[in-house]
């Protein structure tokens, strides 16, 4: 059984580390190629887009993929929709691995917004010195806010339109609470902007903002794709092992693509192979608020 693991997240790397080299399974991880020097997962890796749904369908066929785990970032909505459409078209089992969103606690001053433009619109009433942690793409929507000053943190240097006043800080997490607080104090930050990425690796900024009583503009996640979803690497690994155990040797046979049984011929018994809408046998993922 050959697995495509759509990655670009810490969870995808953890899952690859668990599965690479295991029995009954060969694994290829896929990265979009956005980051110049990405952290590479264990095992085989391919980099770059597939060319939309048609490209992905062709690639899945050519590579004889039998199983897909979509562990892309919660905001990678296009890739998630494409994976769902391609797997539906080919009848391939697909699992979404999505870490739960963050939840506000006592002392948090979060302002939920639906998009980056809404975040930009909310900022002038919340502060003039902004810590922007939404990534290097989408900075253009903040470009017109000339009266605000921005500390822009991202992994690679941004290009294109961006705020006129500010400083770019190139860094890659994880980030600890104390370091985040020191950074915010050093730059006299008044408001934090973030996506609801979830997980512990970048949550230090939220703790620091609470410590400093700073408002946080939290950009909501796009709606999740329908289908089976789990919240942890453990659950995803268990799902993959169940699927692989039900399907025999690695690459023993290509996936059944477009199979339609002749009249009177019952569909083949593909024990353990779930359709995208099937129950995963695991509890549903906790979703962000």
Structure tokens at 227: 């289908």
Task: Check residue 175 for interaction with ligand NAP (CB under 6 A).
Answer: no
Q: Is 243 in the site for ligand NAP (CB under 6 A)?
A: no
Q: What is the side-by-side order of every strand in the sheet holding 67-70?
A: 44-47, 26-31, 2-6, 67-70, 94-97, 229-230
Check residue 31 for interaction with ligand NAP (CB under 6 A): yes
Contacts for 39 with CB less than 8 Å, ≥ 6 apart = 13
In angstroms, the CA 24 to CA 51 distance is 29
Count the alpha carbons within 13 Å of 134 in the hemisphere toward its beta carbon: 28
Among 21, 39, 40, 52, binds ligand NAP (CB under 6 A): 52
Give 111's strand partners: 217
Q: Which of 73, 136, 153, 221 binds ligand NAP (CB under 6 A)?
A: 73
Contact characters 186-205, ligand NAP, x per CB under 6 A: ---------x----------
**51 near ligand NAP, judged by CB under 6 A:** yes
Which range in 15-23, 29-37, 146-154, 257-265 contacts ligand NAP by CB under 6 A? 29-37
Instruction: Give 152 or 247: the residue with its C-beta nearer to ligand NAP.
Output: 152
Q: Output DSSP code: residue 8.
A: S
Tokens of 187: 């730059």
Give the interface size with ligand NAP as a residue count (CB under 6 A): 24
SS (H, E, C) 61-122: HHCCCCEEEECCCCCCHHHHHHHHHHHHHHCCCEEEECCCCCCCCCCCEEEEECCHHHHHHH
One residue of 76, 139, 145, 191 binding ligand NAP per CB under 6 A: 76
Figure out which of the listed residues 26, 65, 75, 123 binds ligand NAP, where binding follows CB under 6 A.
75
Question: Which residue bears the tokens 């709606």?
Answer: 223
- DSSP secondary structure of 149-188: EEEEEESS---SS--SSEEEEE--S---HHHHHHHHHHTT
Q: Whose Cβ is closer to ligand NAP: residue 76's or residue 247's?
A: 76
User: Among 16, 60, 65, 79, which residue interacts with ligand NAP (rule: CB under 6 A)?
Assistant: 79
> Nearest approach, Cβ of 59 to ligand NAP (angstroms)?
9
Indicate whether 225 belongs to the interface with ligand NAP (CB under 6 A). Answer: no
Binding mask 131-170 for ligand NAP (x = CB under 6 A): ----x-----------------------------------
What residues line the site for ligand NAP (CB under 6 A)? 6-9, 30-32, 34, 49-52, 55-56, 72-73, 75-79, 82, 135, 195
């Amino acid at each position: 059984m050959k697995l495509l693991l759509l990655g670009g997240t810490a969870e995808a790397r953890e899952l690859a580390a668990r599965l690479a080299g295991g029995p009954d399974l060969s694994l290829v991880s896929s990265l979009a190629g956005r980051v110049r020097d990405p952290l590479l997962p264990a095992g085989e890796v391919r980099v770059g887009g597939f060319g939309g749904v048609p490209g992905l369908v062709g690639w899945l066929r050519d590579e004889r993929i039998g199983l897909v785990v979509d562990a892309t970032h919660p905001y990678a909505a296009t890739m998630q929709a494409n994976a769902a459409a391609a797997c539906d078209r080919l009848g391939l089992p697909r699992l979404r691995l999505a870490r739960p969103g963050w939840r506000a606690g006592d002392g948090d001053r979060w302002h939920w917004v639906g998009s980056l433009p809404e975040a930009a619109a909310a900022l002038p009433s919340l502060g003039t010195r902004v810590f922007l942690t939404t990534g290097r793409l989408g900075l253009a929507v903040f470009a017109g806010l000339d009266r605000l000053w921005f500390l822009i943190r991202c992994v690679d240097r941004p290009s294109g339109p961006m705020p006129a006043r500010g400083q770019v800080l190139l860094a890659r997490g994880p980030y600890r609470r104390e370091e985040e607080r020191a950074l915010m104090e050093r730059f006299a930050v008044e408001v934090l902007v973030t996506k609801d990425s979830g997980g512990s690796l970048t949550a230090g900024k939220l703790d620091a903002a609470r410590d400093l009583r700073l408002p946080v503009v939290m950009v909501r996640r796009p709606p999740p794709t329908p289908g089976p979803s789990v919240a942890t690497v453990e659950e995803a690994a268990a799902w993959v092992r169940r699927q692989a155990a039900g399907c025999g040797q690695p690459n023993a046979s290509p996936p059944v693509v477009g199979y339609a049984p002749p009249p009177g011929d019952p569909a083949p018994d593909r024990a353990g192979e779930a359709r995208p809408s099937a129950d995963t046998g695991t509890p549903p993922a906790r979703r962000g608020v």
